[in-house]
Amino acid sequence: MRHLIFRMVAENRTWGAPRIHGELLMLGFDISERSVSRWMKRAPGTPISRNDGLSFSATTAKLSPPWTSDLGLHHRYTVAA
């Protein structure tokens, strides 16, 4: 989970915790926005502002190709379990 959050932060520097939290919810992960925010602060080499003014909109959310490969792994392990 934290690897995915770190990757999303690194590849989408303008996204805040609400947006990343919304993306994770759409992917089926059950995590709080506060936990996402805490992990974002620990992401290597990324200064995070507390309030960047960004919000999540389900209608405009798009998956970026670099981390969509992780989705196949997530799906494979959740279906098999």
Hey, what amino acid is at 54?
Answer: L
Q: Please tell me the predicted confidence (pLDDT) of residue 44.
A: 86
Q: Please tell me the predicted confidence (pLDDT) of residue 20.
A: 96
Which of 40, 52, 48, 51 lies closest to 7, judged by CA?
Answer: 40
Question: Which sequence spans correspond to the domains of the chain?
Answer: 2-80
Q: Please tell me the predicted confidence (pLDDT) of residue 35.
A: 95
**pLDDT tens for the 81 residues of the chain, in order:** 989 999 999 999 999 999 999 999 999 999 999 999 999 999 887 554 544 444 444 444 454 555 555 655 555 555 544
> How many angstroms separate the CA atoms of 45 and 42, rounded?
9
67: left (phi over 0), alpha (psi -120 to 50) or beta: alpha
Q: Please tell me the predicted confidence (pLDDT) of residue 46.
A: 56
Q: Which residue has the tokens 């990343």?
A: 20
CB 8 within 8 A of CB 65: no
